[in-house]
């Protein structure tokens, strides 16, 4: 079983790049953000707790996301590996992965400038059904407001308001960016220029994980 981590600030392109990688390598994509949004949509107790935190751009408690990851690892078996997107996000979460004996193959860090992120997220649209991200500037759907893949309605995420995005960036720099050093030490970190085009970043990711492009 292979384990990859797509790492980087909010809006770096993790979800965008994941879509291309999962098919190519038969990976199961685990986006903790998407799993939490599903709980919110279903109106579960967990969803109700997470909603306020997510809409403020704060992290949800470590044990909540750790339990979600554990559940995905246990229930999804017919794949060649897992692609973690948005997890781990704190030192405690990274340590929980290590403690569970998960051997990470590569950590792909998508580096994007903060000012570019605010711009990208103000033009993002996301499928309300399958979660695929679009952009009214850089990645338009074939039919306005409709997901190319599943026909779902495209919506604006509540946490994409510029002031919330700026707070999410602060949280990233305060609590998450430190993990770069953690994975650098183990030789598993690969830097990817996320400022370039979607296709360019995708090519660099494939090179970083040793595939032919």
Going through 59-149 in order, the beta strands assigned E by DSSP cover: 81-85, 106-111, 124-127, 133-135
- Residues 14, 37, 120, 190: which is the catalytic one? 14
Q: How far is the CB of 11 from ligand AP5 (least distance, A)?
A: 4
Question: To the nearest 10°, the Cα dihedral for 149, 199, 181, 183?
Answer: 60
Q: How far is the CB of 171 from Mg ion (least distance, A)?
A: 15
User: By CB under 5 A, is residue 15 in contact with Mg ion?
Assistant: yes
Q: Which of 29, 17, 132, 116 is nearest to 76 (CA)?
A: 29
Interface residues with ligand AP5 (CB under 6 A) are: 8, 10-16, 31-33, 36, 53-54, 57-60, 65, 86-87, 89, 93, 120-121, 124, 133-135, 138-139, 159, 168, 194, 197-198, 201
Q: Which helix (H) or strand (E) holds 192?
A: strand 189-193
188 is an active site residue = no
Cα dihedral sign for 171, 184, 1, 133? positive
Q: Interface with Mg ion by CB under 5 A: which range of 15-23, 51-59, 122-130, 187-195?
A: 15-23
Q: Which two tokens stand for residue 104?
A: 């990470």
190 is an active site residue = no
Q: How far is the CB of 99 from Mg ion (least distance, A)?
A: 26
125 is an active site residue = no
Nearer to Mg ion, 15 or 57 (CB): 15
DSSP 54-82: HHHTPPPPHHHHHHHHHHHHHH--SSSEE
Backbone angles phi, psi at 199, to 5 degrees: -65, -40
166 is an active site residue = no
Nearer to Mg ion, 9 or 15 (CB): 15
- Residues 37, 124, 125, 190: which is the catalytic one? 124
User: By CB under 5 A, is residue 57 in contact with Mg ion?
Assistant: no
Nearer to ligand AP5, 78 or 199 (CB): 199
- Residues 37, 125, 168, 190: which is the catalytic one? 168
Tell me how far apart the alpha carbons of residues 26 and 82 are, in angstroms, rounded to a whole number: 9
Tell me how far apart the alpha carbons of residues 139 and 201 are, in angstroms, rounded to a whole number: 14
Q: How far is the CB of 2 from ligand AP5 (least distance, A)?
A: 20
**Residues carrying an active site annotation:** 14, 89, 124, 157, 168
């Amino acid at each position: 079983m292979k384990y990859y981590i797509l790492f980087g600030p909010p809006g770096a392109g993790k979800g965008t790049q994941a879509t291309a990688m999962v098919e190519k390598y038969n990976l199961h994509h685990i986006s903790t953000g998407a799993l939490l949004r599903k709980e919110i949509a279903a109106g579960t107790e967990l969803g109700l707790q997470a909603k306020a935190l997510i809409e403020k751009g704060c992290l949800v408690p470590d044990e909540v996301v750790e339990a979600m990851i554990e559940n995905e690892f246990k229930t999804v078996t017919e794949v060649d590996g897992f692609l973690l997107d948005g997890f781990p996000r704190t030192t405690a979460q990274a340590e929980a992965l290590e403690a569970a004996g998960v051997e990470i193959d590569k950590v792909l860090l998508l580096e994007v400038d903060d000012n570019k992120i605010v711009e990208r997220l103000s033009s993002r649209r996301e499928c309300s059904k399958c979660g695929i991200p679009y952009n009214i500037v850089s990645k338009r759907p074939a039919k306005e407001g409709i997901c190319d893949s599943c026909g779902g309605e495209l919506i604006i995420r509540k946490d994409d308001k510029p002031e919330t995005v700026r707070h999410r960036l602060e949280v990233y720099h305060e609590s998450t960016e430190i993990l770069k050093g953690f994975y650098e030490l183990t030789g598993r970190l690969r830097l990817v220029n996320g400022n370039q085009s979607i296709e360019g970043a995708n090519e660099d990711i494939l090179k970083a994980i040793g595939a032919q492009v």
